[in-house]
A and B are shown apart, each in its own frame.
Chain A
Amino acid sequence: MSIHRRGFLQAGALGGLILAGCERPAEEGATATPTESLSGAERADLEAVASRILPSDDGTPGAKEANVIGFLERGFTTYHAFRLPIVRTGLADLTRRAGGSFAALPASRQDALLKAVEQTEFFQLVRAFTLCGMFADPSWGGNREQAGWRLLGFDPRAIWQPPFGFYDADPGEDA
């Protein structure tokens, strides 16, 4: 992702989070059999976190509808299993802060707890992976039925013809 020539400027805090510490190329493990699994409570809490990063309160699809949890679970138990301890520790911390199940809290309370941890490695990692799970090719386990792409208005077809947008339909002397 380092080829983004400008985007990185806004991502300083994210630098290294997706891949730092990886000991082997992630794609080699993408089809690996999971060696660990999330507990039911961990899975529910992780899905709840993803659902506050990309919520569905406005009636449009969010992380939940796009099955981002499927993407996260697969990643953190196979090709990114080495990050699972960060996820587990972060979820345990949320459980402590929640005084019980994070997933069972009302959304406003979840948001307040996440606000308090938004600078942590755990949150930054889950945020980055949630966005990947929302907008990656559905074959990676998220973006179910292209819910993330449809939300943005992105159409993955391989062939387009001009005009591409509004302003190039009748460009006049600006062409």
Chain B
Amino acid sequence: MIRYRPQTEVDFVIVGSGGAGGILAKELSVAGHSVVVLEQGPWLEQEHTRHDEFSTQILYSTWNDFFRHPQTFQKTANDAPIRSSEFVGLYYGRHVGGSNSHFTANYWRMHENDFRERSLYGEHAALADWPISYADLEPYYTKAEWELGVSGAPGPFDPPRSKAYPLPPLPPKAGGIVFARGARKLGLHPQRAPMAILSRPYDGRQPCKHCGFCLGYQCEYKAKSSAFSAMIPKAVASGKCEIRPDSYVFRVEMNASGRATGVRYYDKARQEQVQRGRAVILCCNGAETPRLLLMSESSQFRDGLANSSGLVGKHLMFNCAAGATAVFPEPLNEWKSVGCTHLVMDFHEGDPARGFYGGGGMDARLDWTGPISFALFHTRPDAPNWGADFKRQLVESFSHRVSIFCHGTSLAVETNQVLLDPELKDAWGLPAIRFRYRDHPDDLANVGFLQGHAHDILQAAGATQVWNDPIVEQTWANHMLGTCRMGNDPRTSVIDANHRTHDVRNLFICDGSSMVTSSRGQPTATIQALAFRAADTIPQALKA
């Protein structure tokens, strides 16, 4: 891998190596630009793929931990802040590849109407139209599917596509089959799930071996089409891109004329370094990107960098969700193979007749990271949670159960936001993240509506037991969206349609923070399509 000296002014400094940063690194370096990617966390290989649930999931060895990176949470500005812990916090992969290495790999496109919901449905909280349309993004959804490797088949509610999926769907799972059966009985239209997991050998990578360790793990076969597996090796092979791990950026450097000149970071030895670049692209996720902008305040930018709108960190969206769970007479063995294989998209579109904003998709899954999470979190909420009856429940249901997970919307609400904690610091002495979040009532109504259908589907499918998992207000997330939203008006958005910040001509942002609306609980395909598009628009914007 090429190494650049920090003093060398490279074409692009990219902060963050995840689902968006990994794509931009590959696209820009293969196009001939010099690129340095600065990643907060380490470069993990085999140690990241071990099926050791206790180490990787319970002890956080591959996640941001709250010892070195504490956060605080408030429902509203009036509530006392709570320290982060399990179930209170913003969680993300803090290593080369980012959270994208851990995802279930659902790969849902947004639909045409999802880009213009303000126009279609009127005023709801801070709902806004996107400055781009589905047609603008479609070529890049296709590019993402083909560059990364997505397995799938067309569904009846899909938006138009210019090219078929590159790979056929993954083999169906038993949970998907009973889900599809129940849905058809109710007149719904189940379809195969598009997954960023290889069903056949592709681009020099091996197909899925069905081990069952997707969510929370990096795939040892590189069958999961993450940026880590599919993009970063190509960025490195270009000879133009350095991925620099253990590099914790805490300030965007600016000159007197208001241009970004590079970024300041702590290296592994916690020494300050400055990497110079002609342009800076932030791909740190919807929590860390606004945090970095707010930490970059100066006498020039008193409210934080690129924040003339005052909206940096605001409009935080999580993706509201709910589920129903069932036990079936015969074994499903959902603990094998990929997260899910079937979807129901009949309720994707919003419908004002329902009385609330929102829509969603459903999939059938076990939703676990291994046997520990099953035992800790997946027993019936109304059943004993220790003793002989608890043990019997574990044994009897382990291979016989599946959940329908309802992936909903979150409305943009201005008071839901990421900000800097006024007192708490992380282990580097940098301001900790504080976040405020309260689900909009429409979001809760929407997932309640979806959950009702999920329950009916499971009953129609012949389950012997069905229960609804309680719906509670969200206090934690790993989808952090909307905090530097895209728009044409500098007063109501942070970046323009080309991902350039309205305030700084050579500072760009591309990650979940760019999203104007929340998608239907599966933002990755959209974030990655935006990244492929940004790799085209950013060099053009710099030339103009």
Contacts and interface: CB of A to CB of B under 8 A. Distances in A.
Contact of A25 (B53, B61, B216): B61
A160 B211 CA distance: 6
Contacts of A79: 59
Interface string A1-35: 11111111111101111111011111100100000
Interface in A141-161: 148-149, 151-154, 156-161
Contacts of A139: 52
Interface stretch (A54-62, A84-92, A95-103): A54-62
Contact of B211 (A3, A54, A158): A158
A38 interface: no
B210 to A, nearest CB: 4
B177 A167 contact: yes
A contact patch SS: loop
Contact of B372 (A30, A53, A135): A135
A14 B376 contact: yes
B372 A166 contact: no
B371 A152 contact: yes
Which of A10, A111, A164 gathers the greatest number of chain B CB atoms within 10 Å?
A164
Contacts of B83: 20
Interface in B372-410: 372-379, 381, 385-388, 390-392, 394-395, 398-399, 403, 405
Nearest to A133: B54
Nearest to B85: A16
Contacts of B277: none
Contacts of A106: none
Interface in B60-114: 60-61, 63, 65-68, 83, 85-89, 91, 102
B66 A19 contact: yes
A8 B387 contact: no
Given A159-B209, A160-B209, A174-B181, A25 B371 contact: no
B373 A164 contact: no
Contacts of B394: 151-152
Contacts of B190: 174
A1 B209 contact: no
**How would you classify the secondary structure of chain B's contact residues: helix, strand, loop or mixed?**
loop
Which range contains the number of A residues in contact with the other chain?
A: 35 or more
A148 B54 CA distance: 14
Contacts of B323: 6, 9
B359 interface: no
B367 A4 contact: yes
Contact of A10 (B60, B88, B378, B476): B378
Given A9-B471, A24-B67, A167-B174, A3 B215 contact: yes
Nearest to B341: A168
Contacts of B348: none
A171 B172 contact: yes
B265 interface: no
> Which of A2, A111, A162, A171 has the most B CB atoms < 10 Å from its CB?
A2
Interface stretch (B20-28, B234-242, B300-308, B325-333): B325-333
Contacts of B141: none
A104 to B, nearest CB: 20
Q: Which of B87, B332, B368, B370 has the most CB of A within 10 A?
A: B87
A175 to B, nearest CB: 5
B86 A1 contact: yes
A165 interface: yes
Contact of A6 (B210, B328, B469): B469
B61 A8 contact: no
B210 A160 contact: yes
Interface string B325-350: 00010111111110000000000000
B320 to A, nearest CB: 11
Contacts of B91: 2-3
A149 B386 contact: no
Contacts of A72: none
Contact of B376 (A11, A149, A154, A159): A11
Contacts of A30: 55, 59
Interface of B: 51-55, 57-61, 63, 65-68, 83, 85-89, 91, 102, 171-178, 180-181, 184, 190, 209-212, 215-216, 220, 321-323, 328, 330-337, 367-379, 381, 385-388, 390-392, 394-395, 398-399, 403, 405, 469-472, 476, 478
Given A11-B377, A54-B390, 16 more contacts: A1-B86, A8-B86, A10-B378, A11-B86, A16-B85, A19-B85, A30-B59, A62-B391, A149-B371, A152-B371, A157-B211, A158-B51, A165-B331, A168-B172, A168-B176, A174-B190
10 contacts: A2-B86, A5-B367, A6-B377, A16-B86, A55-B388, A132-B58, A164-B173, A165-B173, A173-B184, A175-B172
